[in-house]
A and B are shown apart, each in its own frame.
Chain A
Amino acid sequence: MADDGVLDEGTETAALREVLAAEHAAVWGYGAVGAALPPDAREPVVAGDVAHRDVRDRLVALLDARGAEPVPREAGYTLPFPVLSPVDAAALAVVLEEGVSAAWVRLLDQATEPSVRELAVEELGAAEVRAVGWRAAAGRTPVTSAFPGLPR
């Protein structure tokens, strides 16, 4: 909910921009994930990278269509921890997917258009499915989350 409780196109657009920022970060981060994995283990990295690039491009088009300036990608990002092993790489991918999940849930909270919520809930589910695989690869338990993207 907006801080003043009112939802409108402005709150929705602001939340869309936050999702785009998270997707930029995910695209960048998947490069670091792939670099820490052997070539024969990169299939889920490619799939995740492609998915995030696709949705990034959809968000840019959506923001363009409503006359809102898309958020540019940052010049660089700071890794939350050193990524030196396959387990580190999987843990980073979990961070990336959980980051975009939080942004999608924020959008669900702020959106006014059903079509935007439809996009958000679909992509939130896709991010959680990827996160399940990465949590397993990182040795996390449980591998699932009851409420992906919601504040804990």
Chain B
Amino acid sequence: MASLAPPAPAGLPRRAFLAASAGLALLAAGCTAGSSGAPAVSTEEADRLAGQVAVQEAVVAAYAVATTADPALALSDLPLSDLAAQAGEQLDRLRAAAPSSTSSPSASSPAPPSPPPGGDVRTWLREQVAGAAASHAAACVQQTGARAALLGAVAAGLRGHEAALA
């Protein structure tokens, strides 16, 4: 009988993600597709991935702003510190996969978001996260290979955050 547990051997080749995480996949883009056996990464694809770094920076900033704007959130049953830490991990992986964004991460950062005065901070935070999830998902569709997989996983992770914040 077949096992219900995830079939590890059929999973993604881990090396593909290690390469993407280290930025090696994009560094290899300068090689011809034929020389490495891997598809070349277009400048457009690389730029799109760098753009998603800025989107994720805004998510990390939103968690920090939400905690400051409503300290009670951190004391509630909401695992805000876990969510914020995961958002940071996602940012680190995206930066690693988009080396062009790592030299000056603040240069492309949008202005820090802030909740409307007197508004519901939790709802505002959930909206920020939902917007970023949608952005990553749309970018995922336009990417290929390990970059698509990474963006899709980050988008799904943020959809989970959105559910946790509901």
Query: Which residues in A have some Cβ–Cβ distance to B below 8 Å?
Result: 1, 3-7, 18, 22, 25, 28-29, 74-80, 92, 95-96, 98-99, 101-106, 108-109, 111-112, 114, 117-118, 120-122, 124-129, 131-133, 141-151
Contact = CB atoms under 8 A, between A and B. Distances in A.
Contacts, number: 174
B6 A105 contact: no
The B interface, classified by DSSP as helix, strand, loop or mixed, is: helix
A6 B1 contact: no
B98 interface: no
A96 B161 CA distance: 19
Contacts of A103: 6, 10
A117 B141 contact: yes
A151 B14 contact: yes
Nearest to A129: B163
Contacts of B153: 105, 108, 124, 147-150
Contacts of B16: 1, 109
Contact of A106 (B12, B38, B144): B12
B5 interface: yes
A45 B11 CA distance: 26
Interface of B: 1-7, 10-14, 16-17, 36-39, 79, 82-83, 86-87, 89-90, 93, 133, 137, 140-146, 148-157, 159-164
Nearest to B3: A78
Closest 5 CB pairs of A and B: A142-B82, A146-B86, A5-B38, A125-B159, A5-B37
Given A25-B4, A98-B6, A105 B157 contact: no
7 contacts: A3-B13, A22-B6, A77-B4, A125-B133, A144-B157, A145-B160, A146-B90
B118 to A, nearest CB: 28
Contacts of A6: 37, 39
A80 B4 CA distance: 6
